[in-house]
Structure 1
Amino acid sequence: MHMPAIKAVLFDLDDTLWPIVPVIERAEHILFDWLADHAPAIASQFSIESLRARRQQLMATDPVYQLDLRRLRHAGLTEAFLNAGEDVALVDKAMEIFSHARNQVTPFDDVLPTLARLRGLVPLGSVSNGVADLEAIGIAHYFHASLAAYRIGCAKPDTAIFHAACEAMGVAPQEAVYVGDDPLLDVQGAQQAGLQGIWINRPELAPARKLPAHVCPDAICNSFIELEQWIYKRIIEV
């Protein structure tokens, strides 16, 4: 079967370009330490775990929170400030503290060298359900277009966000490859939208993702080096 030419490569962000769990854990501890100093009633009445549990409850109350994790965290903090009798004017500052720490990510060792080489070969883009700020992280220049669910109004695996990314890249879905760590949101979501779906299954991530029996990626790569080789082979064969 002849495969169409690859004219764009799109990437997931969290757990594809960098491990996200340690980033969020660190950011939440930095925020909680700040709250202990500036809103001590919150630190005495709540814990990181209880604030997280409340966000999970809030997420179930309004679909917008599933698309906009910033708004979800802001709402959770506002509620906590009110319940603790602290000044809600400090919520925006608390969000700044968290966001700054959340964007202090450490890409996997093979990511930046691979992106630097690939962008000279094919246009790159990103599609994420998260709230990473690529400008703040310092990698926005690698990407022709970067789409986030909270800005688009829909989230992976909705086909609309993949199609919006293809439109932003100026390619048809069948001309785009999507690379991600989540078999359902990334691989299956991309394929259902007409893109090719590549599963990044990094052995250094714990716990490792499992591939459901009904999901069949167009390729499985354990690293960005393998991904680069697959993309290069596909391009020179066309």
Structure 2
Amino acid sequence: MTIKAVLLDLDDTLWPVAPVIQHAEASLYQWMQEHVPAVAANYSVESMRQRRNKLVPTDPRFQYDLWVLRHTLLSQIFAEHDVPVAKADQAMAVFADARNKVSLYDDVVPALKVLSQRVLLGSVSNGFADLREIGLASHFRTSIAAREFGCAKPDPRIFLAACDALGVAPHEALYVGDDLLLDVQGAQQAGLRGAWMNRHSLEIKDERHQHIQPDAEFKNLHDLTKWL
């Protein structure tokens, strides 16, 4: 069956995300040391991460809106130290700016140029990277972020919304991502084909993943263009 549309995950599919988050959190903490030193004196990057994790179950929105999750945490700890909550907006601007300073995998730009000429191209992400700020938005016909849409992968609705935006049926779309559960299985359960972006030649060893059968497996986006 012909593939008319390709939907891509972002984090760890188009760029490695761990160093990006590490840099963003470090940039935020440096800002805090300069602008809200009383808060920085009582919190480290790790202790903020631990408190943020405890915050997640307290509001369903935190499951899909990571920006609001971080903003809520900052608002809480700023208020506890008599810092104007409005400074949380400034802090998040610092974090978001650093969050968009990604290092693309070498294959991404050349492959996107080819793919965007061959198929309808879209993205679906649970993160809040901004493709316009990163400089990739022009390659995509649609880009859906969980925080704006209102639910996150593997919810079928977010995959189906991307198909609707591109005007294709689910079976005419291929979703490509690095996470077997969220991306591959999530897409397949929504009626799309699901491909695994396995850049590091990982083996499926986890029992939670062994039942998942990707429709294709790629080491990079050049493999995807060849497969198409």
2-structure distance, mates of 1:151, 1:34: 27
| Counterpart check, 1:15 vs 2:20 | no
2-structure distance, mates of 1:89, 1:125: 35
Letter in 1 for 2:11: D
Residue in structure 2 matching 1:224, options 188, 205, 221: 221
- Runs (4 or more) in structure 1 with deviation over 3 Å come to 208-211
Give the equivalent residue in structure 2 for 1:39: 36
Give the equivalent residue in structure 1 for 2:22: 25
Give the equivalent residue in structure 1 for 2:195: 198
Q: Deviations over 1:25-63 (max 9, x none)?
A: 001001100100000011100000111111111111111
Q: CA deviation at 1:7?
A: 0.7
| Counterpart check, 1:159 vs 2:138 | no
The SS at the match of 1:82 is: helix
2-structure distance, mates of 1:213, 1:119: 32
Give the equivalent residue in structure 2 for 1:76: 73
Give the equivalent residue in structure 2 for 1:234: none
The SS at the match of 2:158 is: helix
Q: CA deviation at 1:218?
A: 0.4
Give the equivalent residue in structure 2 for 1:112: 109
Letter in 2 for 1:124: L
For the Cα contact (< 8 Å) 1:181–1:209, is it kept in 2? no
| Counterpart check, 1:189 vs 2:189 | no
- % identical equivalent positions: 54
The normalised TM-score by structure 1 is 0.92
1-structure distance, mates of 2:83, 2:149: 33
For the Cα contact (< 8 Å) 2:204–2:210, is it kept in 1? no
Letter in 2 for 1:75: T
2-structure distance, mates of 1:169, 1:209: 33
Q: CA deviation at 1:84?
A: 2.0
For the Cα contact (< 8 Å) 1:32–1:43, is it kept in 2? yes
The SS at the match of 1:65 is: helix
2-structure distance, mates of 1:89, 1:126: 32
Q: CA deviation at 1:224?
A: 1.4
For the Cα contact (< 8 Å) 2:7–2:175, is it kept in 1? yes
Residue in structure 2 matching 1:176, options 162, 169, 173: 173
Q: CA deviation at 1:210?
A: 3.8
The normalised TM-score by structure 2 is 0.96
Residue in structure 1 matching 2:95, options 95, 98, 107: 98
Gaps of 5+ in 2: none
Q: For 1:126-145, what aligned pairs fall within 5 Å after superposition?
A: 126-145=123-142
Q: CA deviation at 1:209?
A: 7.2
Gaps of 5+ in 1: 232-238
1-structure distance, mates of 2:221, 2:180: 17
